[in-house]
Structure 1
Amino acid sequence: MALAQRRSTDKASNGDAWDGIWRSYESFEGELPPEYKKLLGYGKSQMIGRPRDIFRRYGRTEEERQYYAYLPGSKATHIPNDLVCIPKGASACAFLLGQWIAQDLLPPRYEQTESFIASAYPAIPYTIPRHVTTTPTRFDIRDLAPTARSCSTSADGKETILAFKKEWEAPYKLARKLRTRLRDAGLLSSTCYFQGTSLRNLESVLRYFAPAYPSQSCAEMGPGIYATKKLSTAAQQAGETGAIMIFKDVALEELSVWSPGDEDWEALLKNSLGYGESGTLPAEFHAADVIVGPVCANISDFYGSTTTPIKSDEEQTVFCSEKSAALLRSSLCGIIYLTTDELDEQEKADKKAHTKAVHNSEPSGMKPTTGSASKGKGRRTKRN
């Protein structure tokens, strides 16, 4: 399929101006501005642009196109109008709004309810638990999210998972560092899945963990719990102040897995976005526990229009039944909290405190056991 073309000049030959948004599914004529080139290395984004331009182009309502387009760069807010990366599979405007809500950047405002009664917009703070540090540590899941439901079968009902926080950086760099840390902690496997989400959505997911529509995605393949095998993709979906859930040893052998063909995939997109014809979904969709398929590269353009969907090289997995959701929930083994705070000094302090705690917990004169020290040396390694 031929890609659409964009020109980097102010006016293209046909008189159309470039809207300032780079799209992964369109070829680009001319020289791309250097600030865009820099962000291309952050990962495989759906698009790169400034929030104001994105809302003016992709806002689905007059409010999104006018009110939210006014906010970035305004003196009334702290929302910058700097270039941003929109991950593949996410509705551009919904993703940005989710990020702003998570960072408490939206100004106080009122929304109309269905009964036309003005109600205050609830500003609920969602923050990283205070006891979570840069050192991977095991916590009872209810110490991370008080409303979380434990899936433990023990008498006390405690379910412990590993959690730590990491400073945000370019997704591909972040993924490389996280992969090393997760490997050291024994949390990586060939059947490992990740989900990037906001702290706000994390709270509700840990409470219910049911196949439903995610808050920052178009849910292009229907309701379900969306996951990916790419850590960099999950990092990009989580954003600067989100979280990454880690699911280890997810075995799909006992589940019904459906990979839709081209026609079924397009029909699924149209139905999921609300303008498909009734009765166009095959029986495999209704019987599936898990759906595996490509992310739509031009989902923001495709939403509510007759644009032909374009498949990307990014694969996503949707756990869409109670059976598959229960399997995924039982495989949850860790949560990574992302932050824009500088953690270099804190990370050094955490490592020092952790090493001291391990040293103090060992009986005096105890010799390192096999596997806990380097060969030929008496130095102990960090324990998780």
Structure 2
Amino acid sequence: MPVIYSREMKDPKLLEENWLDPIWVEGFGYPGPVPPEIQEYLAFDCARLYSMIGSIRSIFWLFGHKELVKVIDDPACILEDEIVAVPRNANPMGFLMTYYPELGKMPLFIQEVYDGVRLPPSLHVAPAFQIPDAVTSEPSQHCIADIYPFTRPQTFPETILCLKLKCERDLHKTVGQIRRKLGGSFNIDSDTAWFRGLNMVRLTLSMSSFIPVTNPNAHGNEFGPGIYAAKDFKTAASYARPSGAMMVFKDPDLRDLNVWRPDLSDWQYLTAHWLQLPLGDLRVPESYKHADVIIGPRSLNQSEARSKKCFAKQSEDLQLVCTSYDDAGGGYHLQGMYLKDEEQSLSKRTIKLVEEGKLDESEQTSINFPFESNEIEVNPIVAGVTEV
């Protein structure tokens, strides 16, 4: 993990003393009345989804990166200050330094320093995935090959059901729109559904090769390299807004796979290693070496665990991680949700969700629904913490 991702966070109380905007931080809250632009993310019990919400200028400063504050203040740079909501399990700096370079907003020399590599001048950036024109505000079936011509033959179904909706900053409202539009077609509260949030670039890559990939900059993978999916819809959506995607898996077939559900002790050792908590003598759980799929709780209070040099706590939210090529190729059947942020005077956000799954050995179904939103500010960001 690059050094940038492991720096300790300063005391949030120092922000105002240094003429910086205060931010909301998990476990600390906000110093005073919460402003509307932050409160919008906290409504309807959504505070559990985030580790911090606030100005990226303030977040960069909190982690000791004054050079990034200067980039924001420099009128020659296109990176501007905005409100972001960092998903709870994401390393804040890893989250931001994955997202902004992929938007082309991070200066190349800064990106080289923080990635620890020198990038070639002809660096190719994967194109943002566009919402197909054929997708409308009414549910309709479309052939994947027609919508995504560069999709390779995989275990995806031939057709998917598509629907375009507006995405609200308030996830509760977005969920309500989904339920109203889909009716009985798909239940996002189903016990058999899993959701994966990611950005548009990773969606494009996943459409071509849906496999676990080892990435040295992965910053939220607390069970190690793999394809991550959350049990809770809102949890996954927090990683996918406003410029990303969410894959939705229905009824994954795990019968022929080695599924590991670690007990508390194994879970603590596993997360401590991959979160790089300052603990010694961490044993490797034997079951980890042979697992195709890992299912267990997401962690809580990672910053507190680092500062106190203790194990992280378990949350009530489950996550599923595909860790081998076998499960990625055979047990899962496509993906789902896209968000897209088009830079206009009114931010236009698009989310597209696709739900697909295997009903039996001969029939597969899918649902694909994008959203569009018009809001005054471009605030939350997404960097695909579920990056593989």
Report the TM-score, using the length of structure 2 for normalisation: 0.69
Change in 2 beyond 3 A, CA 1:326/1:117: closer
Provide the rounded CA distance (Å) in 2 between the counterparts of 1:8 and 1:274: 26
> Which deviates more from structure 2 when the two are superposed, residues 138-147 or residues 197-206?
138-147
Alignment partner of 1:47: what SS? strand
Alignment partner of 2:112: what SS? strand
Alignment partner of 1:323: what SS? helix
* Higher gyration radius (CA): 1
Residues 58-114 of structure 1: per-residue CA shift (max 9 Å, x gap): 46xxxxx24433333542344442321111222212222333244443355573798
Provide the rounded CA distance (Å) in 2 between the counterparts of 1:147 and 1:209: 13
AA aligned opposite 2:249: F
Q: How does 1:260-271 map onto structure 2 within 5 Å?
A: 260-271=262-273
Residues 160-202 of structure 1: per-residue CA shift (max 9 Å, x gap): 2234444332223222322443444447543111111101001
Offset at residue 256 of structure 1 (A): 3.1
> Which deviates more from structure 2 when the two are superposed, residues 246-255 or residues 194-203?
246-255
Residues 18-71 of structure 1: per-residue CA shift (max 9 Å, x gap): 9834222x2448634334434322722121121122223346xxxxx2443333
Offset at residue 115 of structure 1 (A): 8.4
Provide the rounded CA distance (Å) in 2 between the counterparts of 1:88 and 1:308: 16
- Answer whether contact 1:138 1:160 (CA < 8 A) is retained: yes
1:53 matched residue in structure 2 = 58
- Answer whether contact 1:104 1:125 (CA < 8 A) is retained: no
AA aligned opposite 1:202: L
- Answer whether contact 2:270 2:284 (CA < 8 A) is retained: yes
Offset at residue 263 of structure 1 (A): 2.7
Q: How does 1:10-25 map onto structure 2 within 5 Å?
A: 20-24=22-26
2:297 matched residue in structure 1 = 294
> Which deviates more from structure 2 when the two are superposed, residues 69-78 or residues 41-50?
69-78
2:193 matched residue in structure 1 = 192
- Answer whether contact 2:155 2:329 (CA < 8 A) is retained: no
Alignment partner of 2:85: what SS? strand
Change in 2 beyond 3 A, CA 1:254/1:125: closer
Alignment partner of 2:315: what SS? strand
- Answer whether contact 2:197 2:245 (CA < 8 A) is retained: yes
Q: How many residues align?
A: 323
Alignment partner of 1:167: what SS? coil
2:355 matched residue in structure 1 = none
2:106 matched residue in structure 1 = 106
Structure 2 residue 136 is matched with structure 1 residue 137? no
AA aligned opposite 1:96: L
1:128 matched residue in structure 2 = 130
Structure 2 residue 178 is matched with structure 1 residue 203? no
- Percent sequence identity is 27
> Which deviates more from structure 2 when the two are superposed, residues 143-152 or residues 77-86?
143-152
Unaligned segments of structure 1, at least 5 residues:
60-64, 347-384
Change in 2 beyond 3 A, CA 1:116/1:239: closer
AA aligned opposite 1:289: D
Provide the rounded CA distance (Å) in 1 between the counterparts of 2:119 and 2:205: 26
Aligned with residue 287 of structure 2, among 284, 288, 295: 284
Q: How does 1:214-253 map onto structure 2 within 5 Å?
A: 217-253=219-255
Offset at residue 235 of structure 1 (A): 1.5
Provide the rounded CA distance (Å) in 1 between the counterparts of 2:291 and 2:90: 23
Offset at residue 149 of structure 1 (A): 2.3
1:369 matched residue in structure 2 = none
Supply the RMSD in Å over aligned alpha carbons: 3.8
1:370 matched residue in structure 2 = none
Unaligned segments of structure 2, at least 5 residues:
1-10, 349-388
Alignment partner of 1:206: what SS? helix
- Answer whether contact 1:213 1:223 (CA < 8 A) is retained: yes
Report the TM-score, using the length of structure 1 for normalisation: 0.69
Change in 2 beyond 3 A, CA 1:271/1:7: closer
Residues 140-171 of structure 1: per-residue CA shift (max 9 Å, x gap): 33444443222359xxxx82223444433222
- Answer whether contact 2:230 2:236 (CA < 8 A) is retained: yes
AA aligned opposite 2:284: L
Provide the rounded CA distance (Å) in 2 between the counterparts of 1:298 and 1:132: 43
> Which deviates more from structure 2 when the two are superposed, residues 202-211 or residues 275-284?
275-284
